[in-house]
A and B are shown apart, each in its own frame.
Chain A
Amino acid sequence: MIGELERQGLGPTGNDFPGDQEPPRLRRAPSRASDRNYPRYDWSADPAEEEDGAGNAEAPPEIRTLPWPMERKRAVRQVQQMRAHVSFGAESWRRNKTKSLRKLQQNVREFLYFFSLWRKSLQKIGGNFGGGVKSYFVFLRFLVVLNFVSFLLIAGFVIAPSLVRRSAGTGGFVNSTDKESCLVYDPNPQGLVVFYEFFLHLLSGTGFMEDSFMFYGYYNNNTAVEDGSLSYNIPLAYLFTAAFYFAFCLCCIIARMGTAARVAVATGGRAIGNYSLIVFTGWDYGCLGDRATKLKQKNIYYRLQVDLEEERIKKRAASLTPWRKVALYTLRVLMFLIALGLIGTAFYGIFEATKFSQENGDRFGILGLFIEYLPSIVITTGNFLVPLLCDQIALLEKYSPSITVVVALLRAVVLRLVSLGILLFTLWSQITCSGDLEKEDCGNCSYNNKKYQCWETSVGQEMYKLTLFDLLVTIALLVLVEFPRRMVVDNWSSKLSQLVGRQEFVVPSNVLGLVYGQTVVWTGALFCPLLPLINTIKFVILFYCKKITLFCNCRPALKTFRSTTSTFFFLVVLLFGWGLALVAMIYSLAVIHPSYACGPFRFFTTMWAIVPNSFYSLSEVTQEFLFFIGSQAFSIPLFALSCVVMCYFIALASIYGRSVAMLKAQLKLEGQDKQFLVKQIEKMKRNNI
């Protein structure tokens, strides 16, 4: 047998025996009482007839899925294979093709499996800390891959052609206009530069970094190549790459949400089955090690306690007198207003900081750097302090534990995303003089060209600074807070250190940090094409940093996060961030006038205006075709058709839902019937005796 195994290396479902071996040894005297529960195998069913065109053998059932001992499965498979040789002709050819296709699919999947990133690390994390923490790292890995692929896209369509154009040497065209003052732009004044200025430029994206492929301002609006046969319209490519990048990210997120949602929907209502689910599916059989096992047991104990506690709270809440109920509700409304006030203060702080930073951005040295980073600092401090205070408020509100978690998450999400929105709004009001293009600063070039010779680059720089600051703060926290905390708690035993304890890896706030970082990148990608690459590197560094801190400094959380529903939740929040970035991008594309002095869209009224312009350079046939698609003769039938298709799918979904409910009811009925019949049999037996 070992020789055959070596030759064929098959999976665990059995092997081919050479035909002349003795018949397989069947199990003797099955002492397992449940042997009689084995489903009967339908020997009369001919496998050749039952298969449909797709090659799926629905009946008889696949041997793999039957709960039989290995010997019996081998025997049945042997008989099946002897039978299968009988059929011939087109059917057997089709069956062979589908079988080999399935084998190929499986082999490809196995092959790709070896290439999946960080597989061993994720396994270790899952085994030691559970599914909730692992889902954070899986989400991080998804974002790394997404950013890297986006970078390849942008590099292929925008950066590489620009590189070629640059090396070919032709400069940008300068149309003669009357907006001479708008054309002034000098990003990198050459001259004697102090040594540490290099470092300052690196951190704030100015100087040599501004005059490079990093930012929008470096790209040109030239299109034709020397020999005239090839022409690559860089501005159009820039625009379409940005649009496609957003669409691509949306597709990836929705595809992932689809798989997560399928699982979430299949489980139906969540509320039923809490206790039984904890008892029967709570134990992770993959848990390794004595310490992890003890922790898992404590975890389950804690979860059961939490549920029992919720029961007690519910009973107590139901027994409150009306006066106390009124008092509780007014307290909750008051706390809600206080939380709202805290969040509003944070927003105001961000607004003021951004305005101050943009107005005083030309100081030098460390003070200048500090002022440049002021918005990032205020956002990070707000994102840290406000949830802490809201947690304290939540203690007073006395919601049940599950509602408390949801409320805290919602508050944190609102805080993070809206604070970014406030930053963008402040930038907008600075760039376009709050929308009033008649003001003296904006009257000349339709944007504030006194402060911003190249406003897109400034926005890109702001996003770059946010990204960089996020990474620096994470690393600083790791080194200055988490490691010392662990050392203090481990080596100095006192009441305080017992109270504070080792750190817990809190999944929701870490995920929100990732979503915030990704939203910043999406917002800035139009203005800073290399930002996805920087973000990839940042997330890779983050993965290793978080892994190190997880294994060295953290204890496993007692309150676990459900891994399957939480994946769906992370993706929904990511979608919100995407929506925010989309709004910012559409607004900059369609409304704000591009800078005169830099960038590929120099002399267009808006960035979008290049599309209609290039449209007329297409061939006649293409133009007519596109006009036709945009016309009513095409779009109205298309709309009607999509309505019909949508109605079909809605009807299908409701039918499935109803049949699921009916089957559940039938299951209950069958059980009751069985009980009734058993009682009847016993009664008859008793009567006969």
Chain B
Amino acid sequence: MGNKQTIFTAQQLFYRYRDLAPQLVPLDYTNHPDVKLPYELIGSMPELKDNPFRQRIAEVFSEDGQGNMTLDDFLDMFSVLSEMAPRDLKAYYAFKIYDFNNDDFLCKSDLEKTLNKLTRNELTEEEVRMVCEKVIDEADLDNDGRLSLEDFQHMIVRAPDFLSTFHIRI
């Protein structure tokens, strides 16, 4: 029913960005100041600080790949993670987040790292191995032993919950 939209304007997001470091971020952006907030500040936001993937999220959306974000990066991040972003866009960025080694494929090591972050390292080695095998079995269409973006997107199509879970409420 009524939960189809979160209404946040660029203005509100700007104020959230500025609140992280008021002394660094000027109020006047007409001259496009080159201001980058370090990852530690971004990672301390209440919406992100408990998320096990916060470092990967910041790295994916930041310009320098290290997690230090400009205002545009910040807007990008919350726009993709909002309710309004289309499924393909979200799938694209979710793929990049889970791709720890940035090689455009989700290989076994990426899956193992994802799994450990998801379960807080509680699964045994044997179980991790079994689950990774099953995941690649289920989702790998071109049979190369790792998941490409197309495989990932094809699998996301069949996940009705994806749009509501890949979403940060701000």
List A residues at the B interface (Cβ < 8 Å): 1-3, 5-6, 9-13, 15, 25, 27-28, 30-34, 37, 64-67, 69-71, 109-110, 112-113, 115-117, 119, 122-123, 127, 131, 138, 141-142, 263-264, 266-268, 272-277, 279-290, 292-294, 297-298, 300-301, 304-305, 308, 562-565, 664, 667-668, 670-672, 674-675
**A308 and B127 within 8 A (CB):** yes
Given A64-B86, A288-B47, check contact A123 B2 (CB 8 Å).
Answer: no
B145-170 Cβ-contact flags toward A at 8 Å (1 or 0) = 00011111011111111101111110
**A11 and B10 within 8 A (CB):** yes
**A300 and B119 within 8 A (CB):** yes
Given A119-B3, A297-B120, A304-B127, check contact A273 B141 (CB 8 Å).
Answer: no
**A69 and B111 within 8 A (CB):** no
**B79 and A675 within 8 A (CB):** no
> Which chain A residues lie closer than 8 Å to B24 at the CB level?
none
**B11 and A308 within 8 A (CB):** no
B6-26 Cβ-contact flags toward A at 8 Å (1 or 0) = 011111011000000000000
When chains A and B are docked, how far (Å) is the Cα of A277 from the Cα of B91? 13
Q: Which residue of B lies closest to A673 (CB)?
A: B142
**B134 and A275 within 8 A (CB):** yes
Between A and B, 14 residue pairs with Cβ closer than 8 Å are A5-B14, A11-B84, A12-B79, A15-B10, A31-B64, A37-B149, A70-B72, A280-B94, A280-B162, A281-B166, A292-B50, A298-B120, A305-B127, A671-B142
Q: Which residue of A lies closest to B30 (CB)?
A: A1
Given A10-B10, A131-B161, A672-B143, check contact A285 B168 (CB 8 Å).
Answer: yes
Q: Which residue of A lies closest to B7 (CB)?
A: A110
Q: Which residue of A lies closest to B84 (CB)?
A: A11
List B residues at the A interface (Cβ < 8 Å): 1-5, 7-11, 13-14, 27-30, 32, 46-47, 50-53, 60, 63-65, 72-73, 75-76, 78-79, 81-82, 84-86, 88-89, 92-94, 96, 98, 102-104, 111, 114-115, 118-120, 122-123, 127, 130-131, 134-135, 138-139, 141-144, 148-152, 154-162, 164-169
Partner of A113 from B4, B135, B160 at Cβ < 8 Å: B4
> Which chain A residues lie closer than 8 Å to B79 at the CB level?
12-13
Q: Which residue of B lies closest to A297 (CB)?
A: B120
> Which chain B residues lie closer than 8 Å to A305 at the CB level?
127
Partner of B167 from A25, A286, A565 at Cβ < 8 Å: A286
Given A69-B63, A267-B159, check contact A279 B111 (CB 8 Å).
Answer: yes
**B89 and A34 within 8 A (CB):** no
**B139 and A304 within 8 A (CB):** no
> Which chain A residues lie closer than 8 Å to B156 at the CB level?
280-281
**A116 and B11 within 8 A (CB):** no
**B152 and A280 within 8 A (CB):** yes
**B76 and A564 within 8 A (CB):** no
**B138 and A300 within 8 A (CB):** no
**B13 and A71 within 8 A (CB):** no
Partner of B75 from A70, A119, A142 at Cβ < 8 Å: A70
Partner of A279 from B93, B115, B160 at Cβ < 8 Å: B115
Given A12-B75, A127-B169, A301-B119, check contact A277 B141 (CB 8 Å).
Answer: no
> Which chain B residues lie closer than 8 Å to A268 at the CB level?
158
> Which chain A residues lie closer than 8 Å to B10 at the CB level?
5, 9-12, 15
Q: Which residue of B lies closest to A290 (CB)?
A: B50
**B118 and A279 within 8 A (CB):** yes
When chains A and B are docked, how far (Å) is the Cα of A565 from the Cα of B73? 35
Partner of A293 from B51, B88, B141, B165 at Cβ < 8 Å: B51
Q: Which residue of A lies closest to B102 (CB)?
A: A33
> Which chain A residues lie closer than 8 Å to B72 at the CB level?
69-71
**B93 and A67 within 8 A (CB):** yes
> Which chain B residues lie closer than 8 Å to A113 at the CB level?
2, 4-5, 7
Best-buried of B65, B85, B151, B160 by chain A (most CB within 10 Å):
B160
**B88 and A65 within 8 A (CB):** yes
**A285 and B51 within 8 A (CB):** yes
When chains A and B are docked, how far (Å) is the Cα of A9 from the Cα of B139? 42
**A301 and B154 within 8 A (CB):** no
> Which chain B residues lie closer than 8 Å to A112 at the CB level?
2
Q: How far is the CB of A17 from chain B (nearest CB, A)?
A: 10
> Which chain B residues lie closer than 8 Å to A116 at the CB level?
1-3
Q: Which residue of A lies closest to B65 (CB)?
A: A31
When chains A and B are docked, how far (Å) is the Cα of A267 from the Cα of B157? 7
Q: How far is the CB of B148 from chain A (nearest CB, A)?
A: 8
Task: Please give 13 more A-B residue pairs, beta carbons under 8 A apart, in addition to A65-B89, A109-B5, A283-B52.
Answer: A27-B63, A31-B64, A64-B86, A69-B72, A113-B5, A113-B7, A268-B158, A273-B138, A273-B139, A276-B139, A293-B50, A301-B119, A304-B119
Q: How far is the CB of B93 from chain A (nearest CB, A)?
A: 7
Q: Which residue of B lies closest to A273 (CB)?
A: B138
> Which chain A residues lie closer than 8 Å to B46 at the CB level?
288
